[in-house]
Amino acid sequence: MPVETHAIPGARFMDPTVLARIGNLELVARAVVDGFINGLHKAPYFGASVDFAEHRGYVPGDDIRRMDWKLWARTDRYYIKEYEAESNMNFSVLLDASKSMDYGTKGITKFEYARILTACLTNLVHHQRDRVGFVAFDSEVLEHVPPSAKHMETVLHVLDRLKPGRPGNLKGPLHKLAEHFGRRGVLVVISDFYEEPESILEAISPLRFRGNDLIVFHLLDPTEIEFGFNDAQPFEDLESGEQMPVVPEAFREEYRSLVKAHIDALTQSFSAVRVDYTMLDTSKPLDHALNRYLNSRARTMKIR
Amino acid sequence: MQFLAPLFFVALAGLAIPVLLHLTQREKKQIIHFPSLMFVRRIPYEAVRRRKIHNWLLLMVRLAALALIVLAFSRPLFSRTNQAPPPGAGAREVVILVDNSYSMGYGDHWERAVAAARQQIGTLHASDRGSVVLFASSADILMRATAEQDRLGAAVASAKPRFSSTRYAPALKVAGSILSESALPRREVVLISDFQRGGWRGEEGARLPKGVTLTPVAIQGGADRPNVTVTGLSIARSTFSNQERATVTAGVLNRSERPVSGASIVLEVGGIPIGTKPLAIDPSGAASVSFDAFTINAKNMRGTVRVSDDALAADNTFNFVISPSEPVHLTVVDRGSATSTLYLTRALSIGDAPRFDVISREPDAVSDDDLKKSAVVVLNDVEVGTGLARRLTKYVDQGGGLFVATGSRATWPQDVDALPATIGPPVDRTRGDVGRVGALEYGHPIFEVFRAPRSGDFSAVPIYSYRNLTAAKGAQVLARFDGGSPAVLERKIGAGRIVMWGSSLDRSWSELPQRPVYLPFVHRTVRHLANYREPQPWVTVGQVLDPSATAVLRGQRMILTPSGKRVPIEDEGSDVVELSDQGFYELRGENQNVTVVAVNVDPAESDLTPMDPKEIVAAAAGLSGSGDTSTASGVPMTPEQTEKNQRLWWYLLCGGIMLLAVDTYLSNRLAKT
């Protein structure tokens, strides 16, 4: 199947700050994804076939159009044909829209980066004929777009008007959402994960109970990693409003080691439960994230 | 280096301001919003880290700028130590002023003062000269300008406290006079005193010569006992069973911060205790103690009120002298008519201090014995013959007093020149406006009591007739009628006086006897003519005694002081004696007549409230104590030199301003980065 490409040359290497200036998420997503796919030189359209899988006995209520009449003629029994096409996956992005995500020092906030990333992934999956869904949460579920092949536009629309504003909490909304993802699929969680690794794991784990594949993107601003402040100033927590006097040069090394330990702990924890964890720096181009996703999908397919 | 305004160094505390700003200000800048303080919260927070100073250079610049400005305002002053001293520099003329007022007897003050004086003497070198001056209310030079320390030490050792009060000005004047005669380059005054506030009444012209250093040595400190002062007495006379009695009430003050309890106060008369009362006074409290009355049965009875021994002994006793009150004898010469002397005799019968003992005589009946007994003779509108006039003139010449009232009958022989005025014809003021008395000499003892407002108005007294008096040579007109004619005149004849009144003392010519001014006018006139002085129970140390002023002492020749010293009184020249000791002075005459004077210390001196010696230093020698325009070498500087030595402040101020400019530049640069 020919691939429609409206690639912007080199778009996948584009600086996220430049992408952030493009208001139309669809355009951004298409530009990034198409360019990305072109670069891969690999047909991404799998799972859309109508290949026969198996027969099963007819039960009242089955669509008689799916009846195998030839087999009936031979055996005088009613059988229904089942196809692989019905196994197309659900793809949902769970985006953390808490206040802490509304932070950025390099021209783009974590939330804007996450939004672009969500749009790109959704666009990419949509191209694969998978069903796309979207969930935004902070301490509660803010937006919920159920997975559907027709929800691409809805997701982009919801993404476009979403604004972070409240303190976040992973456990509550994610536990609640786990009940909704009854069908196996791919769930992508995008958050800055400002909680203890154990709490994060506890919050995330229920999402896997139904056999969902989990991909976790840990978004951080470079400043959150490097702590590149100089002057002693009072710091205010974006979510709690708590203020603390901070002398960065005295705190820096310890802060860095704590963040590194946090990331290491998350890497280790997610790895243990076979969750694909990626730490993303908002200064880095988006292709890293997309690549990570595709690799993850490839692994999933192999396993299947 | 010295500083003219060292108080400005207090502003150095302002150096803490930039340090605090450097430590705190930066934290008050814009708040950093951070996604989460989860990791920051885990880092142990040490407050000391906040106090780290970031810009040492900026801080140092600011501190230096402030320090320079403060230094500039403190006005540093360079002494000319680098100049070669003039020949003879270093030789000192030192005047040691030692306070020996009686307050120095408090505790061990005197011993410490002597030790301080000896210490000062010990600092004298061979080329130095020293003087020792003792001072209280006056200053006495014990030893003048000598280099012999032994003599100076001996002079100090021989000194002891006096009974006088402290006054600094005379001592400083004496020191100034000694130093002004000195040719030595370094001139110094050492003032050793307890620095009582009461001894300093302002500068009083006590300005030391320029270049003189005044060094105060304060002898202060409390004693372990309270200090009680008998501040005064009140003596009330009364008559009981035809005997005069006196009741003494003593005022006692506790000038210390310790309570007085278990003490006693004693009244002694003639050296014998006749009354003892317990005494208990709170700290800084006062008490009044009354003793039982005693009979005044002799002249010159010596009394003393004495309290128990305390830290300052001199103010514990208070002496007084009391004698039976003596009347003023006078003879009234009149026509024998009761109406003409009614008002006069009634007026003279009133009063206790003094009482008037009046005898009336007709002109022909006045005897020499009457004149001899009388202190005053009153001629109440009578005709005086030549014989009586001559006898009265002689009487006045010997010290008697004559009061002449000129009514319608008064005459005086023209050939006897004694009266203050010649008696002219009567002036009738019954028609038209009545006569008034005005133009009173209020400075005269007779009219002094009428000086104050509402103290008697002579002009309100209608005078219907008066004699036209013409003042004689040497007479003083004390009051005039409204027509200009003399109304009251006085003339001195020998040792006595004659006062003349131009109208009558009865109601025939005026309404004076019925007016309030009549009684005091008559009393004052008689007392003046009798040369009456109210007896003083005591006087204060430092007052002078004039033996000639006391009538009793006429012809006396000797004074016996409390210390037993006999002081003969010269016939001529200065016969005034200064009362310098506490106790009783006896004035003895040829006829064994004795007058006793009780002398007490000034109770104000027992108030030991100290003053700041710098006040005296500032007043007498300038602020620095060494004269504000002199150097250590004692050579006065010119104004240009003085200004030159003080010019450093200008450079310091410029330096401070430049550093502030550098600070501004650095701040701007740092702000941009």
ipTM: 0.76
Residue with tokens 């290491």: A264
**Which helix (H) or strand (E) element contains residue B500?**
strand B496-501
CA distance linking residue A292 with residue B1, whole number of Å: 80
B393, B486: one domain? yes
Tokens of A213: 């594949």
B219: confidence class by pLDDT, cuts 50, 70, 90: confident
Q: Give the gap in angstroms from C-alpha B48 to the nearest C-alpha of chain A.
A: 11
Q: What is the pLDDT of residues B275-290, one digit of tens each?
A: 999 988 888 889 899 9
Whole domain around residue B394: which residue ranges?
328-529
Structural domain including A58 reads: 52-85
The 10 Å CB-count burial string (b at 16+, else e) for B535-566 is eebbbbbbeebebeebeebeebeebbbbeeee
User: Are residues A131 and A233 both part of a single domain?
Assistant: yes
Residue A201 lies in a domain: yes
What's the pTM value of the predicted model, to 2 decimals?
Answer: 0.50
Alpha carbons B273 and B650: distance in angstroms, whole number: 75
Query: Does B144 share its domain with B213?
Result: yes
Same domain for B143 and B11: no
Q: Do both A284 and A167 map to the same domain?
A: yes
- Which CATH number covers residue B446? 3.40.50.880
Lowest mean pLDDT: which of A50-59, A251-260, B483-492? A50-59
Measured distance CA(B269)–CA(B298) in Å, rounded:
11
Number of H helices, E strands in chain B: 14, 33
Task: Check if B51 contacts A (Cβ < 8 Å).
Answer: no
Over residues A219-237, mean pLDDT: 84
- Looking at the structure, tell me whether residues B44 and B100 fall in a common domain: no
Query: What's the rounded mean pLDDT across residues B18-39?
Result: 73
Query: Is the CB of residue B32 less than 8 Å away from at least one CB of chain A?
Result: yes
Residue A31 has pLDDT above 90, yes or no: no
Q: Report pLDDT digits (tens) over B3-21.
A: 777 777 787 787 788 777 7
What pLDDT is attached to residue B335?
84
B237 part of a folded domain: no
Same-domain status, A136 and A279 = yes
Q: What average pLDDT does chain B have?
A: 83
Local confidence band at B615 (pLDDT 50, 70, 90 cut-offs): confident
- Binned at pLDDT 50, 70 and 90, residue B397 comes out as very high
Q: Does B673 touch chain A (CB under 8 A)?
A: no
Q: Which residues of B touch A258 (CB under 8 A)?
A: 39, 42-43
Least confident residue range of A83-87, B4-8, B199-203: A83-87
What pLDDT score does B76 carry?
79
- Residue to substitute from A251, A253, A257, interface B, most B β-carbons within 10 A: A251
Residues B7 and B144 in one domain: no
Same domain as A187, residue A61: no
Q: Are residues B557 and B442 in the same domain?
A: no
pLDDT score for B497: 93
Let me know whether B10 and B125 are in one domain: no
Whole-number pLDDT of residue B327: 86
Domain boundary among B529, B552, B571: B529
pLDDT of residue B637: 55
pLDDT in tens, B623-653: 544 443 333 344 455 566 666 667 788 888 8
Model pLDDT for residues B71-121, shown as the tens digit of each residue: 888 877 765 544 444 544 578 889 999 998 988 888 888 988 999 998 888
User: Residue A45's pLDDT is what?
Assistant: 36
Residue B229 domain-assigned (yes or no): no
User: How many angstroms separate the CA of residue A161 from the nearest CA in chain B?
Assistant: 21
Tokens matching residue B232:
């005064």
Q: Give the per-residue pLDDT at B51.
A: 55
Token digits of residue B331: 């003879």
DSSP3 helix / strand / coil % (chain A, rounded to 5): 45, 20, 35
Shared domain for A107 and A244, answered yes or no, is: yes
Q: Which residues contact A10 (CB under 8 A, 6 or more apart)?
A: A35
- Choosing from B479, B499, B529, the residue where a domain stops is B529
A146 and A285 inside one domain: yes
Average pLDDT on A218-231 reads 86
B467 and B615 share one domain:
no
Alpha-carbon gap, residue B30 to B296, rounded angstroms:
97
- Whether residue B32 and residue A229 make contact (CB cut-off 8 A), yes or no, is yes
Minimal Cα–Cα distance from B57 to chain A, Å?
A: 17
Q: Is residue B344 part of a domain?
A: yes
C-alpha span between B42 and B30 (Å, rounded)? 23
Residue of chain A whose alpha carbon sits nearest to that of B27 = A233
User: Do both A70 and A214 map to the same domain?
Assistant: no
* Predicted pLDDT of residue A298: 65
CA–CA distance, B472 with B490 (Å, rounded to integer): 10
Reported as a single tens digit per residue, the pLDDT across B565-575 is 888 776 554 56
Contact residues on chain A for B30, CB-CB shorter than 8 A: 233
pLDDT at B433: 86
Tell me: pLDDT of B331 over 90: yes
Q: What is the pLDDT of residue B491?
A: 94
Alpha carbons B109 and B448: distance in angstroms, whole number: 46
Helices B338-348 and B518-529: crossing angle, nearest 10°? Answer: 80
Looking at the structure, tell me whether residues A56 and A128 fall in a common domain: no
Q: What is the pLDDT of residue A182?
A: 67
Residue B258 has pLDDT above 60, yes or no: yes
Tell whether A26 and A147 lie within a shared domain: yes
Q: Which of A61-65, B30-34, B204-208, B392-396 has the highest mean pLDDT?
A: B392-396
Query: Is A224 in Cβ contact with B52 (below 8 Å)?
Result: no
Residues A37 and A147 in one domain: yes
Task: Evaluate whether residue A1 is within a structural domain.
Answer: no
Q: How many CB atoms lie within 10 A of CB A49?
A: 11
Are B126 and B162 in a shared domain?
Answer: yes
Regarding whether B523 and B617 lie in a shared domain, the answer is: no
pLDDT at B206 over 80: no
Based on the domain organization, do B332 and B426 belong to the same domain? yes
Same domain assignment for residues A60 and A201:
no
Number of domains in chain B: 4
Domain count, chain A: 2
Please check whether residue B31 touches A, CB under 8 A.
yes
Tell whether B641 is covered by a domain.
Answer: no
Residue B38 contacts A where some CB pair is shorter than 8 Å: yes
Residue B69 belongs to some domain of the structure: yes
pLDDT at A177 over 50: yes
B267 falls within a domain:
no
User: Measuring CA to CA, how many Å separate A192 from each of A239, A259, B366, B501?
Assistant: 13, 12, 139, 125
C-alpha count within 13 angstroms, C-beta hemisphere, residue B559: 24
Looking at the fold, whether B412 and B557 belong to one and the same domain comes out as no
Average pLDDT (B27-35) is 73
Give domain status of residue B301, yes or no: no
Summarize pLDDT for B118-163 with one digit per residue, the tens: 888 888 888 888 999 999 888 888 888 888 888 888 888 888 888 8
Inter-residue contact A294 to A40 (CB < 8 Å): yes
For chain A, percent of residues with pLDDT exceeding 70: 76
